[in-house]
Amino acid sequence: MELTFLYSIPRTELLDGFFMFITNLAGSYGQLWVIIGLILLFFRKTRMTGIAVLISYVCVFVFGQTILKNLISRPRPCQVDLDFPMLVARPSSSSFPSTHSAWAFGGATAIFMNHKKAGIAAFAVAALIAFSRLYMFLHFPTDVLAGILFGTCMGVVAVIICRKIRMRREKA
């Protein structure tokens, strides 16, 4: 059923180019969110948001990329259907959860919880990144959905951690 959904996504040269751009923008390990987090650190007004984005990224890397992917070890759609024409090299890593989606939604959540307007833009980028994982035939829909939920949770946890740090500093 999930493969049927992936096969039903319309693909054109224009969309191929667009989603290749989105995939490259995100980076092979979601580095876009590290860059955004680091940029936010430079400004006093956004410093705690930058820290939250980076905490979320690390949490997704440790718990999603390192632990969950290896524990669940689900094959990717491109590993199940070897005849599907790929736009990128077939990864050898596992599929569940989509850590690209998790990094994107973790970062977007951290930004949104502190800066609503910028967060809406970040969620738009995150949604494009998540959909690109389906378009590129790299993840099943449930991988992406799990990544979105997991990343959102990590973003919330990161913001809570940062707020507690801020409260402790203000008390001291």
Round to whole Å and give the CA distance between 115 and 113.
6
**Annotation says 115 is catalytic:** no
Catalytic residue of the set 69, 76, 133, 139: 139
**Which residues, 6+ apart, have CB-to-CB distance to 31 below 8 Å?**
none
At residue 30, the 3 state secondary structure works out as coil
- Of 165, 163, 26, which is closest to residue 103 (Cα–Cα)? 26
Please spell the DSSP secondary structure of 2-18, one letter per residue.
Answer: HHHHHHHS---HHHHHH
Contact 77, 137 (CB under 8 A): yes
| Residue 106: Cβ within 10 Å count | 34
- Of 146, 16, 138, 143, which is closest to residue 76 (Cα–Cα)? 138
**Annotation says 139 is catalytic:** yes
Catalytic residue of the set 22, 57, 94, 100: 100
Show which residues are catalytic: 100, 139
